[in-house]
Chains A and B, each alone.
Chain A
Amino acid sequence: MSPISRGFHGRRRTPAGEEGRVPPGQYVTTDFPVLSAGPTPHTPTEKWTFSITQGGGALKSWTWDEMRALPEEDVTTDIHCVTRWSKLDTHWQAVSIDTLLEQVEHQASFVLAFSDGGYTTNIPVQDVTGGQAWLAYGYDGGPLPAEHGGPARLLVPHLYFWKSAKWVRGLELLDHDKPGFWETYGYNMYGDPWKEQRYAGD
């Protein structure tokens, strides 16, 4: 039995009145922690593309300029990291994933997002559509910084933030759920913060 550390509380500051916005086991942070599994990629926008792929081939690709020509949305949302921090009212400038997926014909049920540096994460199609997911290139009115996933990252705020792949370069369409990087190591295939689905089996 571990002794209790007298007077230790850790970082648990949920502002009064915000309790309903914070999923179980989370604390609110005002900064924006940078978590990474590898070196920060630096893909220049001139070389950047985003693709919807299936069976090894690209169904549709956008260059940076083509993507930026798509309708932009201002998104304000709360985000929840599996490492227990939550950040409220984050502001993003983004293109809806609906806008991108609408441009391909498919019957896929799942996507595997893939990023520069090799990161992947899996999400059901119904969770990246219906106005629930974006390709975000702006944060707080400025370009998304590389350390936070710029030039563009996935934003799926209703799931734990490891699903919001940084440095995203595309979505692979699948008919079955395939574990991405952290899911392979035991993290939950779905990741609903409100049900505290952190690990497989939760």
Chain B
Amino acid sequence: MEGTAVRGRLTWQTATVAQIIPETPRTSTIVFDVPEWAGHRAGQHLDVRLTADDGYRAERSYSIASAPGEPVAITVERLEDGEVSPYLTEELRAGDEIELRGPIGGYFVWDPATDNGPLLLAAGGSGVVPLRSILRNRERSGSAVMARLLYSSRSLADVIYRQEFERPGSGLDVIYTLTRSQPEGWRGHAGRVDDALLAEVAWPTGQEPLAFVCGPTSFVEGVAQGLVGLGYPPGRVKTERFGATGGRQ
């Protein structure tokens, strides 16, 4: 399949931090300036590598938050006990150098030219990041596919990209479910995604929908099983599991 295989060596390259944009109390978007970036597809990720002055190294994977054609960006959630995420969200500054390699991924990707069917995107927490790349790509490409985002978040304050998702005219249905706390007067869903909520939001199978599910393993497995239970062919439910650390441990 043309364009599926990424030809050529995947090497570490040095990028510069162009901008850091705080998104929510726990997350920030980091925009990179990558001199030899070959472009990316919506849904792909990149690996970041940090080196301390004594040579100690740490590597993590982060989904690309921007659409193909936009500057490469990731959105990082700061984990309390994290080794890398506190550094990226609290210490890193514009102008700093950082090693990264990418883009990576040939399965959890959406290409408007080849992928059909209304999109059902299901996000658990920071799992929304690659789905945002897909949605931005959908908009930039002028795609007419219908899209619905089911977004499970701890609280409304933890919802990333909210303004973007709720922008009128985006043609996107967003359904939130807030699992830990809800604002006063909240009339949306609360608690974890269950089969009933899935049945409500999932496109009927007759429309040959394509689902992308991303987030913690337990979220992904629950939603994926639920969708298959609704009749979605397993091949039409693409999944990407994040660890407690939001990626690689």
Contact = CB atoms under 8 A, between A and B. Distances in A.
The answer to A–B direct touch (Cβ < 8 A) is yes
B107 interface: no
A84 to B, nearest CB: 9
Given A8-B87, A31-B81, A3 B53 contact: no
A141 interface: no
Report the interface size class on chain A.
10 to 19
B176 to A, nearest CB: 32
A10 B96 contact: no
A9 to B, nearest CB: 6
Nearest to A29: B81
A112 B239 CA distance: 39
A8 B81 contact: no
Contacts of B51: 2-5, 8
A195 interface: no
Contacts of B56: 9-10, 12
A118 interface: no
A11 interface: yes
B58 interface: yes
A11 B52 CA distance: 11
A2 B53 contact: no
Interface centre among A5, A8, A9, A10 (most CB of B within 10 A): A5
A31 B97 CA distance: 31
A2 B96 contact: no
- In terms of DSSP, what is the predominant structure of the interface of chain A? loop
B236 interface: no
Given A10-B83, A11-B83, A3 B52 contact: no
A7 B89 CA distance: 12
A117 to B, nearest CB: 19
Given A10-B83, A11-B83, A31-B81, A4 B53 contact: yes
B83 A5 contact: no
Interface string A21-52: 00000000001000000000000000000000
B18 interface: no
Contact of B14 (A3, A6, A7, A11): A3
B37 interface: no
B12 A7 contact: no
Given A3-B99, A8-B58, 17 more contacts: A2-B12, A3-B14, A3-B98, A5-B51, A5-B96, A5-B98, A6-B96, A7-B91, A8-B50, A8-B52, A8-B91, A9-B52, A9-B56, A10-B50, A12-B52, A12-B56, A31-B81
Closest 4 CB pairs of A and B: A5-B50, A3-B97, A2-B51, A7-B91
Interface of B: 12, 14, 49-53, 56-58, 81, 83, 87, 91-92, 96-99
10 contacts: A2-B12, A4-B52, A5-B51, A5-B97, A5-B98, A7-B91, A8-B52, A9-B52, A9-B56, A10-B52
